[in-house]
């Protein structure tokens, strides 16, 4: 995968948190052809055939927001065994908390303390510039769902690793060229 720091986000859909109603907000996002092509380029995929996100943003106390939903996509990859083109479905869940940047250090400490007795709890993400970019969340979830070693359902890697024949090695030809040294002659008279 390519480093995302040197490229703009391929799928953007910012939501201004000050405009989110108290009851919350629901968004359905579909990536257009240009966004799907940009995602494929960033992720090193053959293509992104479709990408859809269904997300709910719920306000919480202290200026925090909970974002939950799903990202579904269909991507084109290449089978690592047969090198045939294949299509893969991605279905990823998003469940994140966002908080104002000044709250992140204290909330991260609370999460670290809670982790000691519980399972996986993620620290909140910062609200950057007063917005939450749902497109970037969807893109990140899609990228996390990509199988780095895709293979066709019936593809079998059946390579036999047999030992080479005794005369079949890189230096066999050199051995054939080897000249036998002449026997040393003994000096006369001794």
The model's pLDDT over 41-52, given as tens digits with 9 standing for 90+, comes to 999 999 999 999
Q: Is 88 exposed, middle or buried (0-12, 13-18, 19+ CB in 10 A)?
A: middle
pLDDT of residue 7: 63
Maximal CA-CA distance, the chain: 116
* Angle (CA) 11 80 8, round 5°: 20
Give the separation between CA 4 and CA 9, rounded to whole angstroms: 8
- Per-residue pLDDT of 157-182, as tens digits, reads 666 666 767 667 667 667 667 767 77
What pTM, to 2 d.p., does this model score?
0.72
Nearest to 63 by CA among 127, 145, 153: 127
User: What pLDDT, in 10s, does the model give residues 3-52?
Assistant: 445 567 899 999 999 999 999 999 999 999 999 999 999 999 999 999 99
**Average pLDDT of span 83-95:** 95
């Amino acid at each position: 995968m390519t480093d995302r720091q040197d490229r703009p986000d391929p799928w953007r859909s910012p939501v201004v948190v000050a405009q989110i109603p108290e009851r919350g907000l629901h968004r359905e996002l579909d990536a257009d052809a240009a966004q799907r092509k940009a995602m494929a380029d960033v992720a090193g995929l053959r293509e992104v055939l479709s990408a859809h996100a269904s997300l709910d943003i719920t306000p919480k106390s202290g200026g925090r927001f909970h974002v939950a939903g799903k990202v579904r996509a269909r991507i084109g990859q290449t089978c690592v065994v047969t090198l045939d083109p294949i299509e893969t479905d991605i279905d990823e869940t998003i469940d994140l908390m966002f908080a104002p940047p000044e709250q992140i250090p204290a909330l991260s400490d609370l999460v670290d303390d809670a982790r000691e007795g519980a399972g996986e709890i993620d620290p909140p993400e910062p609200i950057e510039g007063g917005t939450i970019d749902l497109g970037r969340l969807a893109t990140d979830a899609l990228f996390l769902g990509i199988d780095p070693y895709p293979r066709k359902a019936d593809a079998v890697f059946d390579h036999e690793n047999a030992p080479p024949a005794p005369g079949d090695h890189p230096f066999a030809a050199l051995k054939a060229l080897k000249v036998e040294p002449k026997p040393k002659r003994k000096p006369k008279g001794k």
